[in-house]
Amino acid sequence: MDIAALSMNLNQAKVAQETSLAIMKLAMGTGKQTANETVKIIEKSVDSNLGRIIDVSVRNYG
């Protein structure tokens, strides 16, 4: 294999690697955004009164 062909192969591999990295970064950003939105939805769905007040009744069966 001559130097020109080797250089072309290395450049093609570099482009493929950079493309894969860019796609992975995009996917990670999308995943992070989705996770943040999910957390916001969960935080909004929590009832602030739950877990603060306990209603207790006692019966005497004796």
Q: What tens digit of pLDDT does each residue of 5-60 get?
A: 999 999 999 999 999 999 999 999 999 999 999 999 988 887 777 777 777 888 88
In this prediction, residue 61 has a pLDDT band, given cuts at 50, 70 and 90, of: confident
For the entire predicted model, the pTM comes to 0.56
What are the start-end ranges of the H helices in the chain? Answer: 3-45
Give the pLDDT score at 17.
Answer: 97
**Residue 13 vs residues 2, 24, 51: alpha-carbon distances, Å:** 17, 16, 57
Give the pLDDT score at 9.
Answer: 94
